[in-house]
Structure 1
Amino acid sequence: MWDVLVCVSVLVKIGSTVVAMPYSVTWARELAAARMAEPLPRRWGHVQAVAAKAESLRPLAGEDADLLVVAAWLHDIGYAPDVQDTGFHPLDGARYLRSLDADPRLCGLVANHSGAKYEAELRGLADELAEFPDENTLARDGVWYCDMTTSPVGLPVTFDTRLAEIRERYGEDHSVPRAIMAASDEIRAAIDHVLSRARAFGASAV
């Protein structure tokens, strides 16, 4: 549908430093739709549900609210046929966004989402993934929470249910379930961080 996407970053001067601000949610949604909706309808359903869940976390995320939602829309863009390169979707997605001059934090959130470093190690891509720093923020944990509590068809699930589905879908020996198992403690910690923040705000995470 969209053959050409023109992306313009917004530059803001803070003191004597010019910084690139995160892209808008509209830009992220349209980019994700253009790359995924038609070739990957099932994956697109998951992405839409993850983004909707991220929207519910806005009160918790503060000034990173837009960044969290943008990352949720784009976390799986590396699956898109015209984005794939290495076949490892967090890395491919992050490199693609970097090629569009996307905000470095956004690239890092996509690259490292849901314990990607563990699968990168299994695939021999740890050095490549290290091009994109991870961060210890609610935005990061929010992306992990939204992804790992949303089924492949966009339904809300527990992490244990999601993990069981991944193991059944790929098989025990595949790198994906092996990596998720290795990352499980870190994923649970991210989920707990989000839920505890939600309780502190008197809100309920979806």
Structure 2
Amino acid sequence: MKVTVALALVTLGSASAFAPAPFGSRQSTTALSAEQSRSDFLTQSAAAFATIAAFPSVSNAAKYGSFGAGSPEVLDPKTAIIDEDILKTESVQKCISGIRSYLSAVKSMSATVAADSQADIGPSIRKELDFVQVRADFNGVTEAFDEDTQRGTDRLVRIILQDITELETANRQKPGVPRSEKRLSIVQGKLSKLEKAFDDFLAFV
């Protein structure tokens, strides 16, 4: 009963922000309001994930993994319904190129940290993974998706947006204080998770 109530609260709390848009419309289901800041997004996400975390079985079931494995919210790209005419438009193709550049940036950051465990990738995160632009590019691409496909990519987008901010936080170090093995592991884990999530989203296009 407690698990059911918790899931209901999380669902109701996020429904308005991620309600699906009509197929082919100019508004995406992944769009957060233009006025919503990064801190607003994190506050809502943290509340939702904290509620889920209170129930181990639900938390484990909701972990992000392979398509359809323990995460029914993530749609298999093979079953996606996409408007090819919208997908081929210049604006959508530009957004897809943007998402590919984010994936390349994440791979580059991973290589940098692997070569130097003390490397500060903060400037790269802020320049290459601009939160507002990343969100806008996802919104642009999902205009070509039908409602079910939009729902199926919502979780990927939420994970990416949250992990970008958490990566920036994990990267911060006090001047003169070396990055610990634990902190290094967190940074590398976030980069690895972002790489997989970007790859999985691009599988739809």
- The TM tier, using the shorter chain, reads under 0.3
Q: TM-score, normalised by structure 2?
A: 0.26
Bigger helix fraction: 2
Determine which structure has greater relative contact order: mean sequence separation of CA pairs < 8 Å that are 6+ residues apart, divided by chain length: 2
Work out which of the two has the higher radius of gyration on C-alpha atoms and give 1 or 2.
Answer: 2
